[in-house]
Homo-oligomer: A and B are copies of this chain.
Amino acid sequence: MKISIVGSGNVATHLHRALESKAAVCLINPRTFEKFPSDADVVLIAVKDDAIADVASKLPETSAVIAHTSGSVPIEALASHASNYGVFYPLQTFSKKVNLKYSEIPVFLEASSPEAFAMLSKAAGLFTSDIREADSESRRKLHLASVFACNFTNAMIGIGADILADTGIDFSALLPLLRQTVSKLENLSPANAQTGPAIRRDQNVIERHLQMLEGSPAIAGIYSLITHYIQS
């Protein structure tokens, strides 16, 4: 299979790593299409959301299935630039420096035709067994869900790390707790897994915590808002 990946960021880098030993893969800089092979089966556009349509409009002539990799851009963004097109959305948090087990990444596909879907599915199947279908509406909800579940979760852990910083207790002390916070969710819903002073309505502890945060009004505001949310 011949796959071209257009991009230079985290997603492009990881798709290249995931596929390079499984297919003939070209990694193409989105500012120059010099090395663009005309005979690719699939072209994956892994660039910033706002640049997708522009990159698609500049692609050299190809019969490949053109797919973008964004959670929040509809499939229609490619409709006027390709005859066979789709979306190839790997649901994972990608950092260049961090290695990943690609076989566990769910890839959500959408395509302009059953043939295009089959081709994208074949490409995804090179590195993962978790291939799912999602239309643009479901995919943008999935992306929003992952902002809460991944990005905001990381921000909460970051606040925890900042609070620990002046105690001399190393951040690594939190890791078993963090692993277990996620492991629990293999068997319990988040609602049933909720613990802590908010869900126990332990008002004494909540008030002491807010006192401790008096010097950090932004953090105190987050504490209050999420505590109320958990209790509602």
Contacts and interface: CB of A to CB of B under 8 A. Distances in A.
Contacts of A63: none
A185 B194 contact: no
Contact of A156 (B153, B158, B164): B153
Interface string A163-201: 110111101011111111111111111110111111110
Contact of A155 (B105, B194, B221): B194
Given A148-B156, A167-B142, A186 B190 contact: no
Contacts of A118: none
A199 B198 CA distance: 28
Contact of A195 (B10, B130, B176, B218): B10
Interface string A135-148: 00110111011111
B98 A184 contact: yes
